[in-house]
Structure 1
């Protein structure tokens, strides 16, 4: 049982509320209101900015070149690839770059992103990656679960297919393996309960992020 599996098992209620949120179910069914998805896209753009900061923090928190290179790679992927892809997706849903740049962070966006950064600033690299795990790995699992029901006319096909695709699934697999790598040197038995609480809180905040989008619909 790897560390991610143990964390998920310790936070079964919070994990289920996140990955099986009504927003996720509606997106999978293709019935999610467009306004809800646009609100999510807008706020996810702002989240990505903070996510980039978290990976920059991971470089600083790293104690080995291996960990520094992993964080650098994740940071580059966000700034050089994912942000551009996200902006193009937003454009297809009627959100211009000016709309995104001018948007205010919703309290749900602030709550989760600053929680992640605080975990990284107050703790070590393992604390930071545990706080990020529900997002990085959770999106892969959500999309993989929704993908089999996709049809050509599904309104959210692009989002689901991107996260269910091989490229992102590989990102999530590497993140999961990296948790185990960090656990080899950072995880003492008495520390697991604190990490499980961090993971559960991150799951709750991710569920709140979905709810923020749903409330706009």
Structure 2
């Protein structure tokens, strides 16, 4: 069994709770309060800024040019492609990217990104990969689920660009590239390291749920 198959089996039930979260369901239905979505976008934009720094640490710790390019592409994909959807929505709410950067970080945003950066600074490339992966992988999981479940209403849905970003072929490829990278990186790990990496992954998964809770409440 590949390492990511093992990981997915451990988190599948937990991730399915994301799909039932009112924030996610109401995005799919197109009924989410737009002020909640605006506040979510602000925090997620600030999150992406700090999240990108974790990839930067990965780039510094990379051992080959190929690995450096992989992290570089992840930095670029997060800061340019993913952030672009946020910026367009925020501009619709009357906020520029520079104004958004001046907003205050919520406690959940600070706690989650500090955890990831701490793991990245003290850990190795396997730990960096596992601490960041829940964000990418679970958003792909959620995006595809929403599009499949609520696709009948997509054209009239205010949240269509957000949904399409995370359900897109490009984001799926980005996710699959990370899955392949992790499987290659972790192919020879022992049971002790396997449990350690799973614990890191699970903690980020719990932070993801906290982020949804914070966005909705």
2:201 to 188, 191, 199: 199
Report the counterpart of residue 121 of structure 1 in structure 2: 121
Range that drifts further, 87-96 or 135-144: 87-96
Q: In the alignment, which residue of structure 2 is the partner of 1:24?
A: 24
State the aligned residue count: 214
Comparing 94-103 with 9-18, which one deviates more in the overlay? 9-18
Q: Quick one: distance in 1 between partners of 2:51 and 2:156?
A: 31
Paired residues for 1:6-155 under 5 Å: 6-148=6-148, 149-150=150-151, 151=153, 152-155=155-158
State the Cα RMSD in Å.
Answer: 1.8
Helix, strand or coil at the partner of 1:184: coil
> Is the 1:11–1:199 Cα contact (8 Å) retained in structure 2?
no
Partners of 1:155 and 1:25 in 2: CA distance: 14
Distance change in 2, residues 1:102/1:71 (3 Å): same
Instruction: Tell me the SS of whatever aligns to 1:63.
Output: coil
The Cα offsets for residues 160-210 of structure 1, whole Å up to 9 and x where unpaired, read as: 01111111111111111111011135x222211111111111111001111
Gaps of 5+ in 1: none
Conserved 8 A contact 1:19-1:138: no
Mapped contact 2:85–2:161 kept (Cα < 8 A): no
Alpha carbons 1:8, 1:15 under 8 Å: kept: no
Deviation at 1:130, TM superposition (A): 0.7
> Shift in Å at residue 132 of structure 1?
0.9
CA distance in 2, matches of 1:93, 1:145: 27
| TM-score, normalised by the number of residues in structure 1 | 0.91
Larger RCO of the pair (alpha carbons < 8 Å, separation 6+): 1
CA distance in 1, matches of 2:66, 2:23: 37
Q: 2:164 aligns with which of 145, 161, 173?
A: 161
The superposition leaves residues 10-32 of structure 1 with CA deviations (integer Å, 9 ceiling, x where unpaired) of 23454333444221122112221
- 3-state DSSP of counterpart to 1:171: helix
**Does the C-alpha gap of structure 1 residues 19 and 125 become closer, same or farther in structure 2, counting only changes over 3 Å?**
farther
